[in-house]
Amino acid sequence: MIDRRLVRGRLSKVCADNDVGILAYGTLLGGYISEKWLGKPEPENLESLNWSLKKYLRFIKAAGGWAAYQGVLAALDTIAKRHQVSIAAVATRFVLDIPTVRAVIVGTRLSEESNIYTASNLSVFSFKLTEKDHVLLAKAQESLLDIPGDCGDEYRRPPYLTASGDLSHHISPRSKKLDEVKKAAEAGLRIEYSSGSPWEPIAVSSGRRYSRLPFILSQREREREREREREREADFRCRATVVPYARATRFEYQAPQPIPQYLQYLY
């Protein structure tokens, strides 16, 4: 809704041309796309915000500021009331309707109110956005600015849209390799860097890795998933090993796969 690089940048066309689906994250701006922030002033005390809210506040500022964001939020609220769903459901529905998006990652909560959030997430399949809804959202988005670069550039080059405004949460400033990373980024080159975190090997993205994160599949992707389920055993070329300290699953590949040519522009 606020960060429109997927539809206004190059990534969407590359994915459409090569039948690659997008698993979207940050759909709800870390919680800013909700009734909680509707009509509220911009937070002044950044230390009172959690990591996610700090990060996505930078996205809001880069996309035109608090007033522009509130305009989109008000439009979402109008549509939400029309369909009797939450603001989050409308935003999620909007993103799922983007042709290249196959699914969206949603936040989860383990609490006494978990059932409420689950029902809210599932309500995204209870309605469809009308042409009138899309016109209202497009009008509200006219006040937004384009966030610089393409998807993921917030980690590759300034302005860094992270909680700290730099890469200090991802790369230690004491690291001797930091200069190499900066030089490579400035030159538009690709360089591999490990922060040393035990989570990093688990979080490596690959077309052959099936995420454990919660997400909502679009209708067309659910149909494709049923078809792929029958073939998955034959096509799945990696073996899973359990990482005891993380209680997560890490996939080790039998053979490294080269980066497809159509994705190399990202590096």
Q: What is the predicted pLDDT for the residue at 71?
A: 96
pLDDT greater than 70 at residue 199: no
Tell me the range of 15-29, 69-83, 119-133, 163-177 where mean pLDDT is highest.
69-83
For the entire predicted model, the pTM comes to: 0.66
Which pLDDT score, from 0 to 100, does residue 211 have? 41
Q: 3-class DSSP state for residue 190?
A: coil
CA pair distance 181, 168, nearest whole angstrom = 13
Average pLDDT for 40-62: 90
How far is the C-alpha of 107 from the C-alpha of 121, rounded, in Å? 9
Beta strands in 179-219 (DSSP E): 215-217
| Count of positions (residues) in the chain | 267
More confident residue, 153 or 215: 153
**Of 3.20.20, 1.10.10, 1.20.120, 3.40.1350, which CATH number belongs to 1-267?**
3.20.20
Q: What is the pLDDT of residue 221?
A: 60
How high is the mean pLDDT of the chain? 76
Three-state SS at 238 = strand
Q: What are 87's two structure tokens? A: 């603001």
pLDDT on residue 153? 82
Confidence class for position 173, pLDDT limits 50, 70, 90: low
Cα Rg of the chain, angstroms: 20
Using the predicted structure, report yes or no on whether residue 219 has a pLDDT greater than 70: no
Residues 8 and 98 sit within 8 Å (Cβ to Cβ):
no
> Which residue would you say has higher pLDDT here, 122 or 236?
122
Q: Rounded to 5 degrees, what are φ and ψ at 74?
A: -65, -40
On the 0-12 / 13-18 / 19+ scale of CB atoms within 10 A, 105 is middle
* Strand-pair category, 248-253 with 238-243: antiparallel
3-state SS, one letter per residue, for 88-144: HHHHHHHHHCCCCEEEEECCCCCCCCHHHHHHHHHHHHCCCCCHHHHHHHHHHHCCC
